Amino acid sequence: MSTTAAHPRPGRRTITTGLVMMGVAAFAIAAAVTSWLVLGGPSSDDAVVFEMPGSATAELTAGDWGLYSQEVDGSQHVAQPSDITFTGPGDVTVESTYGFFSDDTSIDVDGTSYVVFARLDVPADGTYDVDIANASADTTVVLGHYTTDDTLGWVVVVAVLGGVLLGGAGFVTLVVGLVLRARGRRHRPA
């Protein structure tokens, strides 16, 4: 009675390992990018919502803030920096973020998305009165944070770099497995 031993497929485990590594890498990169898109916007904490033209009072911390408005029917209602005045413990610098300097940073407040039209540099903590004298149209605006949490940014960068490295290692492993399989087929006994 003769038995024939099954011929193992050379490189099969290596190919599987390479594909799994590349799949995990793709998932890590997709998860990092998705989390950045979902969680990466400026925080609506301490945001003040008011009507423009109009005025409001807000407690602001030193740093970057922005004025945001809704896009309605494909256009955004804005105000010129010269029409925006702040009074408070420091001189707030107002810079336009639309037109040539277009910026698509947005903030979500109560399920509504607002896009930045003016960036503010607040020099000192304190209570500020903001007044917007003219606007392209009457609309609701949000005075809110402009910067994002740097921790999330670093987590995303590390996850993407790790995913790229793992994906590269998976690709090399896959190629090695394919080479082993091709060599095994050539040298397989009849």
Residue 102: the pLDDT is 72
CA dist 88 and 9 (Å) reads: 76
pLDDT band, very low/low/confident/very high, at 156 (cuts 50, 70, 90): confident
Residue 99: the pLDDT is 67
Q: How far is CA 157 from the centre of its chain?
A: 11
- The answer to whether residues 163 and 74 touch, using CB atoms and an 8 Å cutoff, is no
Q: What is the mean pLDDT of residues 163-178?
A: 94
Which residue would you say has higher pLDDT here, 49 or 76? 49
**Distance, first Cα to last Cα, the chain:** 19
What is the percent of the chain where pLDDT is above 70?
87
Residue 70: the pLDDT is 85
Residue 111: the pLDDT is 84
Residue 8: the pLDDT is 64
CA dist 16 and 104 (Å) reads: 42
For residue 24, give Cα distances in angstroms to 113, 159, 166. Answer: 33, 11, 8
Residue 9 has pLDDT above 80, yes or no: no
- Tell me: the pLDDT tens digits for 113-155? 888 899 999 999 999 999 998 877 788 999 998 876 666 678 8
Residue 95 has pLDDT above 80, yes or no: yes
Residue 143: the pLDDT is 94
Residue 164: the pLDDT is 94
The token pair at 125 is 């903590």
